[in-house]
A and B are shown apart, each in its own frame.
Chain A
Amino acid sequence: GEDVEQSLFLSVREGDSSVINCTYTDSSSTYLYWYKQEPGAGLQLLTYIFSNMDMKQDQRLTVLLNKKDKHLSLRIADTQTGDSAIYFCAEISTDSWGKLQFGAGTQVVVTP
């Protein structure tokens, strides 16, 4: 099975906050990432967090990391229609640098 797991779908109203959750199994994960994929496009890095941090904020994005539970979340404040996309959680460890392990992705649909 997947080493990185995510819920598959999230529907949110424009202006509300979105929270996308992810769990991972590799305890040696060094960096954890959130990538965004819009239809017909490649993946774009949104934000990342180093494993010795528990929170990172970047404008409308807040990443929370619970290393004990191996749980990562991405909160998008004031969600806009342009935030509709698939969001992938990914992790990497120092013993396999560059080999990103992706989750299956969470499709976020923003409704007016």
Chain B
Amino acid sequence: EAGVAQSPRYKIIEKRQSVAFWCNPISGHATLYWYQQILGQGPKLLIQFQNNGVVDDSQLPKDRFSAERLKGVDSTLKIQPAKLEDSAVYLCASSLGPGEDTGELFFGEGSRLTVL
């Protein structure tokens, strides 16, 4: 079974530029998450989708970050304009969704963003 796919793996941009990350979850997984992992910290949830609807985006900096999940499958996360403090690894994860027994999240390898 294919895992969670993310691209690009690495991106270097200058501050005030924009960047977009793409995620393809595991087939059949209804729930998709974007986490931000700053160096030396644990991942922090940015946004959670259930199919193509937003469940939780309370920690998403909406003045610069946006995310969508068209058709309830793939998702993109955009940052515009980027700030230095946005340098982090952006992890996409998916899960079966509510009612799934263990709540296990399956993570992609992440997209590492460096803002200069």
Contact = CB atoms under 8 A, between A and B. Distances in A.
Contacts of A45: 104-106
Contact of B108 (A42, A92, A102, A103): A42
A42 B31 contact: no
A90 to B, nearest CB: 8
Interface in B52-87: 55-56
Contacts of B4: 42
B19 to A, nearest CB: 19
Contacts, number: 63
A1 interface: no
Nearest to A2: B42
A71 B95 CA distance: 26
A100 B109 contact: no
B25 interface: no
Contacts of B103: 30-31, 33, 48, 92, 97-98, 100
Interface of B: 4, 31, 33, 40-45, 48, 55-56, 91, 93, 95, 97-98, 102-110
The 8 closest A-B pairs by CB, nearest first: A102-B42, A42-B107, A43-B107, A42-B109, A104-B42, A102-B43, A45-B104, A42-B108
